[in-house]
Amino acid sequence: MASELTRKTATELAAAVSGGEVSAAEVTQAHLDRIAEVDGRVKAFLHVSADNALAAARAVDDKRARGEELGPLAGVPVAVKDLFATVGMPTTCGSKILQGWVPPYESTVTARLRQADGVIIGKTNMDEFAMGSSTENSGYGPSRNPWDLAKVPGGSSGGSAAAVAAHLAALSLGTDTGGSIRQPAAVCGVVGTKPTYGGSSRYGVVAFASSLDTPGPFGRTVLDTALLHQVMSGHDPMDATSIDAPVPPVVEAARHGDVAGMRIGIVSEFAGDGYQPGVMSRFAEAVELLEALGAKVTEVSCPHFTYALPAYYLIAPSEASSNLARFDGMRYGLRSGSGSAEEVMAVTRAAGFGPEVKRRIMLGAYALSSGYYDAYYGKAQQVRTLIIRDFEAAFEQVDVLISPPTPTTAFDIGERADDPMAMYLADLCTIPSNLAGNAALSVPIGLAPENGLPVGLHVMAPPLADDRLYRVAAAVEAAYQSRWGHPLLDEAKGL
């Protein structure tokens, strides 16, 4: 029974709990048992909150016993990336500088999850302060890909993607600053969405790059992902960048996926050298499938997308250098050394931050420095405007754009550790949507023939047209359902 519960979708679990077929406590315990069984190998979690999760599950069961209507995530275990502030649980951002810090307040997104009767089962591993594409930059060691434990699960939300792929949680929360939901979703064979910027609240999300950070959902199915997307979204007066507009009808779109008559554009710039043959062959199959389902597919050029990567690596580090100045050893978190405030700050930051965070702080501080601001940060923002215009021109021609989410399947742990540029290229296809703020999603489209690892399809839609993502993804998922799946962890290579 327990193993069967961890294989069910979030939609199935919520219906079973609401209908009294199973208790929320039983569902939660089954997932806790699964974590105990396999997470020693996957290392998706930094903190498992067993007591809190079981207490939350019993509260759901009590609510049902009183005859009250349950929320849309009734009793569903959800894993949360460890940069969402959570009362009663540590929030470390994968960094030693925040080791053991328990926030005194709750993020809007996790509060909404709890209000929907979801059960937060624990906090997941991540690249430190969300800076990375492999989860190897965590201050607490790397997570591993459930499809092959020698491979990375992507990043920075690698722990959240791995938790869902390994059936440790039915759903999970991540954040996407340059591809940190879509890239791990692609390499772990799950669904992951970056909502429209401002569509999900950043209140209580520890900031990396404030103009880019976007909380979003992971799920094993398109409908599950849409369900969490809907619950976590909506206007929040606590977030000055939150959009005061209705949440797009993402659940309805996920239930009625249909691409007949849709105009779909292939981004011509996302191909060529560096793209793995197996990724491109699966992408070509997906294009043929979309055409067979009645979509009109054409190539669309977005010429300034080529400059998105260098623009991003000026804008994001610049914002990070400002945001991370607050971690100084003075108010909370790690404090090292003695002497003057300046000496304590220097020792604390040297000890608490990892090499990738230090690299980006230095890049950002340089780009913002006197005499260089206009040449670097200012010029990058001009490029950002050109990318926004490319999207606007493209969406005048087509309803959605598609590409691979990332040029390759999951790579070996350690393979790119000493080559930052190779690591940064993992986000080549995803970064433009962060710079422009539009919605984007990755949905699985099978396994690469050369290594049997998951490949995704990247779908991009205009701002506040998030439902188009789910319309396309649901149609693709239904067509591919018989082709791909999610193996039990003990079937993965290397075990």
**Which CATH number does the domain housing residue 298 bear?**
3.90.1300.10
User: How far is Cα 108 from Cα 235, in angstroms, rounded to an integer?
Assistant: 10
Domain presence at residue 52? yes
3-state helix, strand, coil in the chain (%, to 5): 45, 15, 40
- Specify the pLDDT at position 333: 84
User: How far is Cα 354 from Cα 260, in angstroms, rounded to an integer?
Assistant: 49
| 138 has catalytic annotation | no
User: How far is Cα 9 from Cα 77, in angstroms, rounded to an integer?
Assistant: 11
User: How far is Cα 422 from Cα 287, in angstroms, rounded to an integer?
Assistant: 27
Domain presence at residue 352? no
Domain presence at residue 344? no
User: How far is Cα 125 from Cα 118, in angstroms, rounded to an integer?
Assistant: 20
- Residue showing tokens 């810090």: 101
Task: Let me know: does 34 contact 168? Beta carbons within 8 Å.
Answer: yes
Domain presence at residue 379? no
Q: How many domains does the chain have?
A: 1
- Specify the pLDDT at position 2: 62
Range of the domain at 299: 2-303+388-491
- Specify the pLDDT at position 484: 60
| 151 has catalytic annotation | no
- Specify the pLDDT at position 104: 96
Give the closest residue to 12 by CA, choosing from 160, 221, 165: 221
| Catalytic member of 8, 43, 81, 96 | 81
- Specify the pLDDT at position 344: 84
Domain presence at residue 326? no
User: How far is Cα 150 from Cα 475, in angstroms, rounded to an integer?
Assistant: 32
- DSSP letter at 434 equals H
- Specify the pLDDT at position 329: 84
| Catalytic member of 95, 138, 143, 180 | 180
User: How far is Cα 458 from Cα 286, in angstroms, rounded to an integer?
Assistant: 11
| 233 has catalytic annotation | no
Q: What is the three-class DSSP state of 384?
A: helix
Domain presence at residue 340? no
Domain presence at residue 237? yes
Q: Classify the C-alpha dihedral 189-487-484-149 as positive or negative.
A: positive
Whole-prediction pTM = 0.96
* ∠ Cα 128 359 330 (to 5°): 65
End-to-end CA distance of the chain: give it in Å, rounded: 24
- Specify the pLDDT at position 488: 44
The token duo for 285 is 């199959």
- Specify the pLDDT at position 171: 98
Other beta carbons less than 10 A from residue 202's beta carbon: 23
What's the alpha-carbon Rg for the chain, to the nearest Å?
Answer: 21
Q: Which residues of 87-121 are buried (b: 16+ CB within 10 A; e: fewer)?
A: bebbbbbbbbbbeebebeebbbbbbbbbebbbbbb
pLDDT in tens, 57-72: 999 999 999 999 999 9
Domain presence at residue 222? yes
- Specify the pLDDT at position 481: 82
User: How far is Cα 111 from Cα 103, in angstroms, rounded to an integer?
Assistant: 13
Task: Let me know: does 296 contact 287? Beta carbons within 8 Å.
Answer: no
pLDDT in tens, the chain (495 residues): 567 999 999 999 999 999 999 999 999 999 999 999 999 999 999 999 999 999 999 999 999 999 999 999 999 999 999 999 999 999 999 999 999 999 999 999 999 999 999 999 999 999 999 999 999 999 999 999 999 999 999 999 999 999 999 999 999 999 999 999 999 999 999 999 999 999 999 999 999 999 999 999 999 999 999 999 999 999 999 999 999 999 999 999 999 999 999 999 999 999 988 999 999 999 999 999 999 999 999 999 999 999 999 999 999 999 999 999 999 888 888 888 888 888 888 888 888 899 999 999 999 999 999 888 999 999 999 999 999 999 999 999 999 999 999 999 999 999 998 888 888 889 999 999 999 999 999 999 999 999 999 999 999 999 999 999 999 999 999 998 866 655 545 454 443
| Catalytic member of 95, 156, 201, 321 | 156
